Amino acid sequence: MKKLTILCLIILILTAISNVSVSAQTARNEVLIRNATVMTAARGTLTETDILIQNGKIARIGKDLKAAANAQIIDATGKFVTPGIIDAHSHTMLDAINEISSSVTSMTNVRDVLNPTDVSIYRALAGGVTTANLLHGSANPIGGQNTVVRYKFGRPVEEFVFPGAPMGIKFALGENPKRIGANPQPGQTPRYPITRMGTMEVIRDAFLRARDYKQSWDEYRAKVAKKDKTAVPPRRNLELEPMVEILEGKRLVHAHGYRSDEHLNLLLIADEFGFKVATLQHALEAYKIAPEIAKRGTGASVFADSWSYKLEAYDSIPYNAAMLWKAGVLVSINSDSDERARRLNLDAAKTMKYGGVPEEEALKMITFNAAKQLGIEKQTGSIEEKKDADIVIWSAHPFSVYAHPEMTMIEGVTYFDRAKDIQKRGDLAREREMLEKMDINKAPGTGGTAPRIPSEKRIEERDEADRTDGGNRR
Amino acid sequence: MKKRFFLLALPAIGALFSLPVAAQTYAITNARIVTVSGAPIENGTVVVRDGLIESVGANAKAPADAQIFNGSGLTVYPGFIDALTSVGMAAAPARTPGAGGQAAAATAAATAAPTNSNYPNGLQPEQTAAEMLKAGEAQFETNRNAGFTTVVTVGRDGIFNGQSAIINLAGETVSEMVVKSPFAEHISFNTVRGGQYPSSLLGTFSALKQMMLDAQRLQEMQKMYAANPVGMRRPAEDKSLQALIPVLNREVPIVFNANREIEIIRALDLAKQFNLRAIIAGGQEAHKVADRLKAQNVPVLLSLNFPKRTAAASPEADAESLDVLRLRAETPKAAARLQQAGVKFAFQSGGATNVNDFYTNAGMAVENGLAKDAAIRAMTLGAAEILGVENRTGSIEKGKIANLTVVRGDILGKEKTITHVFVDGKLFEQKERPRPAAGSGNNAPSGGTTPANPAAPTAPTAPAIAQVGGNYSITVEVPGQPVAGTLALVQQAAILSGSMQTQLGTSQIKDGKVTAEGFTFSTTVDFGGSTIEIFVKGTVTGNQISGTIDSPQGAVPFSGTKNP
């Protein structure tokens, strides 16, 4: 018993240490990164440059900067610094991704199902990702509301939510929404739509309903303004409220789709209802309609080099990003995967290989451009004075396959530190050893339920709508 | 070995309880009395008359007409309260009643949701436990014999589990049993069956929010209409929304089933958004959110069903995650941490398959830093306060309901016997179990329907065997898609045979075993074109069956009821 108590005590202390690191740092208000190669993603690359961080903001960028006596000093000689990577399409840290029961699920919001303890957050930080656009899945023509977060792993969930990020919503076109309808899960009834034209009709219908809904509120407000006492407020409709926000230009539409014809159709619906689509997601064939996209100021968030993993991806080409960039489209590259999120730097590098995108423009595709698409470019996405200190320190040029992040910071606080991580692995191994020795964690002597045998591979795609079509991406 | 034997023998004690005795006045003299409301009385008397506590104290006198028990060596506690159960509740109707034939169809019809709600089954907050409760002695016997006099009961299905009742565990009619109804509305972060909206956690939250908004609006409309109906369309009746109005008005608390830290935070966020009187049930990680619970004045119905490892060791299996290992080590500390943080809590059994885990794990909470009197309080007066019945029960005070549990030994220790239980002044007495002589043991089955047979000698360590035979309608809680089925169990002593039927087909039971704890068997099902092996483990309490089904795809719980 006494032994157990001591064990518990040690565990308590260990967990306390591991939890303290992030919270203790939040109090520190000055960090100086010295002598780095700074890839600003806005104003070129600066060599032998210092970055002074005060109260979570980039205070100064220059040479031979001075810091307060108690400042954290990081010698980055021979290292590269970039803005924190922004993943414009992710399902990390979501406890549910698709509300599959209906074709229009604009009432759902991924904010309700964020799970701040998801270890994939830490893995993404280890790949230099600081910010992500967490989207509903692609099962429905109109999916749920998204949330933009910063990966403040170890902090309370409300601190993850990016302050001031514009509201958004997921739309989905093509195979996923129609296949979900046509091939229901066991026990479910087939769902409308089961064709691409049906998908378009569902979207148009939702906007027509939203128009009527908005009108009913406008009429009510007019009555109230006229002091009409018989005015009865319309029922608040959580499905249509976000649709009205789209019509009013207050909510960004992020539309999943592969084929150019249906993305173009969506742009036409947007023209008809007078709003702008913020981003076309995946947009594998966007190069075919680049001028049409550029003309509307719509962004494209694409994969670097995924193609032919399903029929509607056959016309995907690795030059897509470069061609869109040349046509003046705001391009970002996203992961849509916990696993790929860890090496978005290499996906950006591929645009230099395929199509000759300049280095800074390639870096922007995983930083500044994504920030602009999400409406958070004033706070993050580039290394400029007065912006939030969302910063990655790399061991080598980030477009090298040998590079890895050594430190990942959000608002000047370190959330990933490779040296500390390596050090902590020993602590975790010891903690595990102690925990496994406790009676409560021992396997039953005889009998017991069957042990869990590891599955063959980790499921890479979180979006069930992608998973069920005879093959993950790749 | 001795400890093990004792625990295994506990369920058997039920067999030794007799039916309530007719006399209405009792006195327990020379007993240690833990009043909970005041200091313990080391040697005193409690007098019970006509269902109430007539007097209590060191100097209280046993009346002349009382049946007197010498309480020497015994401790009298307020009747223990299990702050959340599904005792007396039928499981949800099976979705494919055809599988169980007419009997299952009849059960389904009998337990089917009340009609004319505008909402699907699972989103019907108007369902009330008191209306579904089946009275009668048998199904409450296990819990009562274990020392519980009072429980909160409500179904476990759906997003809205419905409105719970606080009941005393004795009475021939429901109205005799109910102490308070409704106590609270209960919510689980479940989904609705059959692929209807909401079929994911995302939809669960949006559906809940829409219903709350609609209920708010209904109340406003009703007020407007009552003030002046002329020129206004009458607001439509809606019994589901109507049931939420007292919740929105904070007249009825709302219990959220939430164990993980993030689930508790989600519940607290929702409660804050709609200004609800929230209570957390489960609360495995509640201590991590203690500050918020304290700030929002939210009590916890803390589950004593501590997580434990059930999977056998295998060199091929993945190592268990650090989170899982930590959770098992940390959960017994939750109570002490809540106490320290000043968060109110009551203990509940948390759906534990063995009713005696309650005391064992309360003892474990004490070993992990909880003061012993705080542990007793969390199953008596502390619980009554959270349930809002502290003026009626929860302590041994003059005028309160005569709910008493009499114990020989330490209730939180390993050596204990419940000797008497008084429910509403009704006595349920256990004839003291004869100390087993060498070479003989107690092999009485649990459930208390078959008398012990002292003439059948068995080894002292031989456990009593559960009685699990029968036909059951079960629901397998596959996430997002519950599967209905039937279990036909044939028990011959410790050997179990029979079959299991679900939408995946009928399969024969293999390697079926019955122990004191419950039953296990394996079987195979065809799924997705291949045959997979599943391993089933469960227990039967009264007419309720529950357990887990383990497969290569993971473990899922199942539960159900015995077909009459």
pLDDT per residue over A220-262, tens digit each? 999 999 998 878 899 999 999 999 999 999 999 999 999 999 9
DSSP string of B164-232, one letter each residue = -EEEES--SSHHHHEEES---EEEES---GGGPSP-SHHHHHHHHHHHHHHHHHHHHHHHHHHH--TTS
Closest CB from B224, B310, B319 relative to A448:
B310
Q: Are B311 and A451 in contact (CB < 8 Å)?
A: yes
Q: List the one residue out of A60, A56, A38, A58 whose CA is nearest residue A48.
A: A38
Residues B121 and B232 in one domain: no
Contact between residue A130 and residue A380 where contact means Cβ atoms under 8 Å apart: yes
DSSP string spanning B280-302? EEE-TTGGGGHHHHHHTT--EEE
Q: Which of B358, B387, B416 is the last residue of a domain?
A: B387
Pick from A99, A185, A450: CB nearest B535: A450
Cα A111 from Cα A129, distance rounded (Å): 19
Work out the percent of chain A whose per-residue pLDDT is above 70.
Answer: 87
The number of residues in chain A equals 474
Query: CB contact, 8 Å: B195 with chain A?
Result: yes
Same domain, B367 and B270: yes
Q: Which of A157, A435, A438 shows the shortest C-beta gap to B262?
A: A157
A452–B554 C-beta distance less than 8 A? yes
- Residue A452, min C-alpha distance to chain B (Å): 5
Contact B325 A144 (CB under 8 A): no
The total number of residues shown for chain B amounts to 564
Residues B254, B186 contacting (CB under 8 angstroms)? yes
Specify whether the CB–CB gap between A449 and B310 falls below 8 A: yes
Asked if B297 has any chain A CB less than 8 Å from its own CB, the reply is no
Alpha helices in A250-390 (DSSP H): 260-273, 290-296, 320-326, 344-353, 359-364, 368-374
Query: Does residue A397 sit in helix, strand or coil?
Result: coil
**CB < 8 Å to B533, chain A:** 450
- The closest CB to that of B195, out of A1, A187, A448, belongs to A187
Asked if residue A290 lies in contact with residue A256, where contact means CB atoms within 8 angstroms, the answer is no
Report chain A residues whose CB lies below 8 A from the CB of B548.
449
| Minimum-distance CB partner of B195 among A97, A189, A232 | A189
Co-location of B412 and B281 in the same domain: no
Domain range for B104? 84-156+165-182
Torsion on CA atoms A343, A347, A353, A356, rounded to nearest 10: -130
pLDDT confidence band for A470 (50 / 70 / 90)? very low
One domain, residues B248 and B358: yes
Query: Distance from B236 to chain A by nearest Cα, in Å?
Result: 13
Domain contains B195: no
Q: Is residue B150 part of a domain?
A: yes
CB-nearest partner of B520 from A441, A443, A447: A447
* Together in a domain, B359 and B247: yes
In total, how many domains does chain B have? 4
Distance from CA of A363 to the nearest CA of B (A): 34
pLDDT at B482: 74
**B341: DSSP letter:** H
The CATH-assigned architecture of domain A85-380 is Alpha-Beta Barrel (3.20)
Nearest by CB to A112, which of B202, B217, B323?
B202
Residues contacting B449, CB < 8 A, separation 6+: B15, B138, B467
| Residue at B8 is within a domain | no
Minimal CA separation from B202 to chain A, in Å = 6
CA distance B332 to B360: 11
How far is A403 from A451, CA to CA, in rounded Å?
39
Tell whether B358 and B414 lie within a shared domain: no
Q: Which residues of B touch A136 (CB under 8 A)?
A: 202
A167-223 per-position pLDDT tens digit:
999 999 999 999 888 887 666 678 999 999 999 999 999 999 999 999 999 999 999
Higher local confidence (pLDDT), A70 or B555: A70
- Which chain A positions have a beta carbon within 8 Å of B261's beta carbon? 117
Taking an 8 Å cut-off on Cβ atoms, the answer to whether B311 and A452 are in contact is: yes
pLDDT value of position A9:
47
* B206 with A109: Cβ contact below 8 A: yes
For residue A96, give the nearest of B202, B322, B520 by CB distance.
B202
* Tokens 């299996």, located at residue: B317
Q: Say what the pLDDT of residue A391 is.
A: 98
CATH number for position B28: 2.30.40.10
**B 353-372 near A (Cβ less than 8 A):** 367-368
Taking CA–CA distances from B533, the nearest residue in chain A reads A450
In total, the C-beta contacts within 8 angstroms joining chain A to chain B are 173
In a domain? residue B359? yes
Distance CA B368, CA A211 (A): 60
> Could you identify the residue written with the tokens 């059951």?
B472
CB pair distance less than 8 Å for A238 and B316: no
**pLDDT at residue B528, as a whole number:** 53
Which pLDDT does position B15 carry in this prediction? Answer: 41
Mean pLDDT of A438-457: 70
CB atoms within 10 A of CB A247: 16
| Alpha-carbon span B280 to B297, nearest angstrom | 11
Q: Are B206 and A102 a contacting pair at CB < 8 A?
A: no
Q: How many other C-beta atoms are found inside a 10 Å radius of the C-beta of residue A205?
A: 14
* Alpha-carbon span A137 to A94, nearest angstrom: 10
E-only strand ranges, B315-377: 345-348
Whether A449 sits inside 8 A of B195 (CB atoms) is: no
Q: Is cis: bond before B198, omega within 30 of 0?
A: yes
Q: Do A444 and B312 touch (CB under 8 A)?
A: yes
Instruction: Tell me the CA distances in angstroms from B543 to B67, B288, B402, one per residue in order.
Output: 34, 37, 28
Contacts 24+ apart (CB under 8 A), B457-465: B460/B5, B460/B436, B461/B1, B461/B4, B461/B5, B463/B5, B463/B8, B463/B9, B463/B515, B463/B516, B464/B8, B464/B9, B464/B11, B464/B12, B464/B516, B465/B493, B465/B494, B465/B514, B465/B515, B465/B516
| C-alpha distance from B305 to closest chain A C-alpha (Å) | 13
Q: Contacts of residue B266 in chain A, CB cutoff 8 Å?
A: 112-113
| pLDDT level of residue A11 (50, 70, 90 thresholds) | very low
Residues 38-67 on B with a CB inside 8 Å of A are none
Which of A300 and B117 is assigned the larger pLDDT? A300
* pLDDT at residue A199, as a whole number: 97
Q: How far is A102 from chain B (nearest CA, A)?
A: 7
Same domain, B89 and B169: yes
**Cα(B127)–Cα(B132) distance, rounded to whole angstroms?**
8
Whether residue B99 is found in the same domain as residue B131? yes
How many CA atoms lie within 13 Å of A379's alpha carbon, on the beta-carbon side?
Answer: 20
Kindly report the nearest CA distance between residue B460 and chain A, in angstroms. 20
- The Cα–Cα gap between B131 and B492 comes to 37
For the four alpha carbons of A47, A48, A53 and A56, in that order, the dihedral sign comes to: positive
- What's the count of helices (H) and strands (E) in chain B, helices before strands? 14, 27
Contacts of B251 (CB under 8 A, 6+ apart): none
Both B249 and B334 in one domain: the answer is yes
Q: Which of A104, A101, A98, A100 is nearest to A239 (CA)?
A: A104
| Res A454: pLDDT | 60
pLDDT tens digit string along B383-397? 999 999 999 999 999
Contact B442, B7 (CB under 8 A): no
CB atoms within 10 A of CB A397: 17
Task: List all residues of chain B from 516 to 545 with a beta carbon under 8 Å from chain A.
Answer: 520, 533, 535, 537
Q: Which of chain A's residues have a Cβ under 8 Å away from the Cβ of B195?
A: 100-101, 184-185, 187-189
Q: Higher confidence at residue A85 or residue B550?
A: A85
- Closest CA relative to residue B28, chosen from B12, B8, B49: B49
Residue ranges in chain B modelled with pLDDT below 50: 1-22, 92-111, 113, 434-463
Identify whether B540 is part of a domain: yes
Q: How far apart are CA A135 and CA A463, in angstroms?
A: 10
Q: Chain A contact for B201, CB < 8 A?
A: yes
Tell me: the pLDDT tens digits for A192-201? 999 999 999 9
Under the banding of pLDDT at 50, 70 and 90, the label for residue A444 is confident
**Chain A closest CA to B148's CA: distance in Å?**
26
Q: Give how far B195 is from chain A: nearest CA, Å.
A: 5
Q: Are A325 and A358 in contact (CB under 8 A)?
A: no
Selection from B12, B44, B3 nearest residue B406 by Cα: B44
**C-alpha–C-alpha distance, residues B110 and A418, integer Å:** 62
Lay out the sheet containing B165-168: strands in order across: B80-85, B148-153, B165-168, B178-180
Main-chain dihedrals φ then ψ at residue A473, nearest 5 degrees = -60, 140
CA distances from A457 to A453, B20, B105 (A): 12, 60, 42
Nearest chain A residue to B292, by CA:
A156
Which H or E run contains B109? helix B101-111
Measured CA to CA, the distance from residue A377 to residue A6 in angstroms comes to 51
Q: Which residue of B has its CA nearest to A188?
A: B195
Asked whether residue B26 is assigned to any structural domain, the reply reads yes
Nearest beta carbon to residue A449 from set B481, B503, B537: B537
B380 vs B75: CA distance, rounded Å: 14
Kindly list the residues from chain A whose CB atom is less than 8 angstroms away from the CB atom of residue B323. Answer: 117
Q: Is residue B442 part of a domain?
A: no
Contact list, A453 vs chain B (CB under 8 Å)? 314, 316-318, 552
Mean pLDDT of chain A: 90
Residues B237 and B170 in one domain: no
Report the residue of B196, B197, B200 to disrupt the A interface, i.e. the one with the largest count of A CBs within 10 Å: B200
pLDDT of residue B464: 66
Kindly state whether B122 is in contact with chain A, defined as any CB-CB distance less than 8 angstroms: no
ipTM of the complex: 0.91
Q: Which chain B residue shows the shortest CA-CA distance from A187?
A: B194
Q: Rounded to whole angstroms, how far apart are CA atoms B227 and B237?
A: 17
Nearest chain A residue to B331 by CA distance is A440
Q: Does B214 touch chain A (CB under 8 A)?
A: yes
Cα distances (Å, whole numbers) of residue B86 to B32, B143, B518? 32, 11, 18
Q: Is B225 on the interface with A (CB under 8 A)?
A: no
Specify whether the CB–CB gap between B150 and B166 falls below 8 A: yes
Is cis: bond before B182, omega within 30 of 0? yes
Name the residue among A107, A435, A450 with its Cβ closest to that of B326. Answer: A435
Q: Which CATH number covers residue B487?
A: 2.40.128.120
Q: Considering Cα of B356, then B358, then B363, then B368, what sign does the dihedral take?
A: positive
Closest-CA distance of chain A to residue B157, Å: 18
* Six-digit token string for B232: 């206004």
Domain identity same for B400 and B502 = no
> Measured between beta carbons, which residues in chain B are less than 8 angstroms from residue A236?
213, 217
Bridge partners (DSSP) of residue A414 are A409
